Amino acid sequence: MEKMTFTTDRTSLVEGEVITIEWDCLDAERVELSIDNGYKASVVPLGNSGNKRFRLNRSKGRTRLTITAWVGGKSFSKTIKVRVHEMPTTHAETVGDDYAQRPPKRGLAAKWQELQLRWQMAWQAMTPDKKVASRVLMIIAATLLLCLVVPRLLIFGILVVVAYLVWYIRKK
């Protein structure tokens, strides 16, 4: 096709920048633009002439822009290769954040802190009935542990459980 023109405003850009294409295929029955970035190719139908802007985000280094026009059952095409440079990355540093610069605690102290935090979160999520049951369970468990050393403390532990339950019932 003699009257086919296809141009871009640039042949090199950085990922994320916009490129403008212009084309003119006056005698064409159909016009398409193919964009192939090395990962994926897509086809966009176009009018016989005009301009369009595209943002080229991702590329394997070169993006091929091919315009194809069909006239009388024959196709004619022109290709422009655009060099797409990778977007430069910047390394950020946190300034003034003591926590980020401190190494995380390790060992038994860290485990104990984590256990306390989990216990507090679980305790806050409990209903009042579950809190009462948990307190009674803790008193009974402590009594049984103490009874291993001094068996006579069993009666004392049972009295503590009874006293707590009586106090709770009277409180309500």
In tens, the pLDDT along 141-171 reads: 888 888 888 888 888 888 888 898 888 888 8
Contact between 15 and 86 (Cβ < 8 Å): yes
Q: What is the mean pLDDT of residues 16-38?
A: 91
pLDDT tens per residue, range 71-100: 988 999 999 999 998 887 777 666 555 555
Quote the CA–CA distance of 24 and 159 in Å, as a whole number.
98
Q: Which residues contact 116 (CB under 8 A, 6 or more apart)?
A: none
Quote the CA–CA distance of 93 and 71 in Å, as a whole number.
58
pTM over 0.75: no
Contact between 59 and 84 (Cβ < 8 Å): yes
- Reported as a pLDDT band with limits 50, 70 and 90, residue 102 is low
pLDDT of residue 125: 84
